[in-house]
Amino acid sequence: MNIMLFHSTYGLRPAVRQAADRLRAAGHEVWTPDLFEGRTFETVEEGMEFNDRIGKDELLKRAVLAAAPYSERGLVYAGFSLGASIAQTLALGDEKARGVLLLHGTSDIAANASVDELPVQLHVAEPDPFETDDWLSAWYLQMGRAGADVEVYRYAGAGHLYTDPDLPDYDEEAAEATWRVALGFLDSL
């Protein structure tokens, strides 16, 4: 599978590269574009401030430019938190998308979004301050209306970015469970 993996608001940190290596070891081709052009951050607040300065449109433009050379191959769009929202947005606009793997995040869905049974898998903490229960319920219904085939996995007691071993949110048990399920999902596409 060809996977475009987008980083979180922390930037292209070692955990993203480790995730890409894990996916490559499972036989996938993976690209990890650096949407922050080398910048990484120690806190969510610093990353969000930088993200706000860049602006959503510029960030999406960078993501589209990164994915464009590979989109003809039929990409699986994947990402962590902010990167998941970018992955979702790009996948819903790419008729050749093969799937979507969302780790720790979702995004708004355009009212006219339409896909043909696009496989989508979401892994998120429970509770998650950035992905509230009400938001996730509405998101799930909207994705279904758009035509996506959605699976949601919740991890009780895990922190928001629980797959990143370098952050306080890290939860080894939840992270390993996520990767087992995610790799199975990718193998099914």
Parallel, antiparallel, or unpaired: how do β-strands 99-103 and 75-80 relate? parallel
**Does the domain spanning 2-188 belong to CATH 3.20.20.70?**
no
Question: Could you give the 3-state DSSP secondary structure of residue 31?
Answer: strand
Contacts with 110 (C-beta within 8 Å, 6 or more apart), sequence order? 92
Q: For residue 103, what pLDDT is reported?
A: 98
Q: For residue 182, what pLDDT is reported?
A: 98
With a threshold of 0.85, does the pTM exceed it?
Answer: yes
Q: For residue 165, what pLDDT is reported?
A: 96
Q: For residue 40, what pLDDT is reported?
A: 96
